[in-house]
Amino acid sequence: MEPNDAPSALTVLSEDERLFRDSVARFADARIRPLVREMDERAAIPQDLVEGLFDLGVMGIEVPEALGGAGARFFHAILAVEEISAVDPAVAVLVDIHNTLVVKALLRWGSAAQRERYLPALATHTVGAYALSEAGAGSDAFSLAARAVADGEGYVLNGRKLWISNAGEAGLFIVFANADPQAGHRGITAFLVDRGTPGFTVGRKEDKVGVRASSTCELLLEDCRLPASQVLGRPGQGYTIAIELLNEGRIGIGAQMTGLARGAYRHAIQYARERRQFGRPIAEFQLVRAQLARMAADIEAARLLVYNAARLCEAGRSFVTESAISKLFAAEAAERVTSAAINVYGGCGFVRDFPVEKYWRDAKIGQIYEGTTNIQLLTIAKQLLGERR
């Protein structure tokens, strides 16, 4: 039995969840898998594949049907990210950030006018990006140098954002800047910035080790003028928006790492059945079986943690600790599983003609973005010790 079919209570899906998961898995196998090598080499996702994701409905999972979306739930987004990650984690990054950060932000904090303007586009043709990080604001995410100065009926933004996923494809960006530096993090404000806005430029694209097809770019703000209507939520509410979004986004990263590990595991177990040494398949050797067993255990534990955090989030219960734990464990498990998959392949695992080395490269980012491993440990400790801030 493969980890995808584990019968644990927390991983039991309802009929609609199972049907949704299976439809995404079929799409990933038919439309994404043939392009994985090419996308990795070119460091780009083809536009027709992006359009296919919109057609599938996975870019507007929580958007109400009346606004062109699927009208589904957060848990469906987690399932989509996991299934796509099992084939190509880079494509899953596009889907994850779009749903768990951008769409979620507009659903929760967008005004009626903002939701009506942007959600139909996000559900059908426009990719979203989330721009928080800067050169001096990584783990210390709120030491923002980007400034927003009130000017008449709007704001003028200046600054530089780094490591912004989806920037190459996005038509809408949620950009965080400090509108009141004297107030510290309480001055941070979130803005909705359309691609093509004067003074806003998508800059250099990073040449990454893993998830290469997922675009990661710098953003330049040079006297970028925005009307007050482009403020998301209230002025000074950006800190709260960012924190709450990242708490949910970490569950998405956990799902990405779980799916990624599953993909590597499936290749490893198939290869172990086919590869013969000393006259028999290597899957018959005790030490290889032990490696496969540990991989399966890691995957099942990661999925349990991710699904538990997602269910708590959907139920409106506290999930901050569970979110951090799920990302922490899933990211570390993904690195272990993908490394073990290379070991199962032996020398073949170390060359690009075989699939597992890419999963290994893709896994590393899980311990870095949306909160490093150290940040997750600090978050968990603070929660356990009652230090809520």
Which residues are part of the catalytic machinery? 370
Amino acid at 150: A
Is the distance from CB of 82 to CB of 256 less than 8 angstroms? yes
- φ, ψ for residue 122 (rounded to 5)? -65, -30
Q: Which residues pair with 205 in a beta bridge?
A: 217
Name the DSSP class of 60: S
Work out the burial of residue 286: count CB atoms within 10 Å of its CB; fewer than 13 is exposed, 13-18 middle, 19 or more buried.
exposed
Handedness of CA 122, 134, 259, 90 (dihedral sign): positive
Interior/surface letters 200-211, b for 16+ CB within 10 angstroms, e for the rest = bbbeeebebebb
> CB under 8 Å to 188, separation ≥6 — which residues?
142, 144, 176, 177, 178, 179, 236, 238, 239, 242
Picking from 198, 167, 187, the residue whose alpha carbon sits closest to that of residue 231 is 187
d(C-alpha 41, C-alpha 99), whole Å: 26
Helix (H, G, I), strand (E, B), or coil: what is residue 132?
A: coil
Residue with tokens 């311990």: 367
Is the distance from CB of 122 to CB of 129 less than 8 angstroms? no
> CB under 8 Å to 284, separation ≥6 — which residues?
none
d(C-alpha 127, C-alpha 121), whole Å: 8
Interior/surface letters 267-277, b for 16+ CB within 10 angstroms, e for the rest = bbbebbeeeee
Picking from 339, 331, 330, the residue whose alpha carbon sits closest to that of residue 291 is 339
Helix (H, G, I), strand (E, B), or coil: what is residue 145?
A: coil
